[in-house]
Amino acid sequence: MRELFKTFLSCLVAGVLAATAVHVDSTPETPQSLNDEGQLFYPAFTDPQAPKTIEVIDYDEATATALPLKVEFRRNRWLIPSHSGYPADAEQRLANTAAALVELRKDAIVSDRADDHGRFGVIDPLDSKVSSLTGRRQAGDIA
């Protein structure tokens, strides 16, 4: 009789645990701040002719150096200020670059851990606080 009671009690506990597991939602909830997949990256940026400065930072992993390129729209043309105001002759490429950013949309978040930034190549090439030489990619700024 004692063994039958132990079996019944074990089945009762198992049933309560199973009912609790079914009732509790085990799906992790995505925070609202990370739930913006598919939205525009720069919602206020609608006119590709509006920027007066475009800066792109390339990173050379072999030499561990950031290679900035900045162009400014002055005197009705695009100029490279770091080269004594030399005219940038790729105006169509600059327009295409700016236009591509108008419709740039946010992708799915793969990770929000800083440890994963190097693996996904999203380390800012100008960030001097990060010691990793790999995982840095191009960065850009439009003003």
Is 133 contained in some domain?
yes
pLDDT number for residue 112: 76
What pLDDT score was predicted for residue 129? 76
Per-residue confidence (pLDDT) for residue 118, from 0 to 100: 79
Buried b (16+ CB within 10 A) or exposed e, 25-42: eeeeeeeeeeeeeeeeee
Identify whether 138 is part of a domain.
yes
Domain contains 104: yes
pLDDT computed for residue 1 by the predictor? 66
Report pLDDT for 102.
Answer: 85
Q: For residue 134, what pLDDT is reported? A: 67
Q: Residues of the chain with pLDDT > 70: what percent?
A: 83
In this structure, the strands spanning 139-142 and 53-60 are: antiparallel
Would you say residue 10 lies in a domain? Answer: no
Tens digits of residue pLDDT in 113-128: 877 877 877 777 777 7
Mind listing the pLDDT tens digit for each residue in 49-72? 788 888 888 888 778 788 888 888
The per-residue pLDDT string of the chain (143 residues; one tens digit each, 9 = 90 and over) reads 688 888 888 888 888 888 887 777 666 666 666 678 888 888 888 888 788 888 888 888 778 788 888 888 888 888 888 888 888 877 777 778 778 888 888 887 777 787 787 787 777 777 777 766 666 665 555 55
Sheet holding 53-60, edge to edge: 86-87, 77-80, 65-74, 53-60, 139-142
Domain with 127, as residue range(s), is 37-142
Count of alpha carbons within 13 angstroms of residue 89, beta-carbon side: 0
Query: Pick from 71, 44, 41, 40: which is nearest to 56 by CA?
Result: 71
Q: Within a domain: residue 22?
A: no
* Number of domains, the chain: 1
C-beta separation of 87 from 79 below 8 A? yes
Output the pLDDT for position 127: 75
Q: Is residue 100 part of a domain?
A: yes
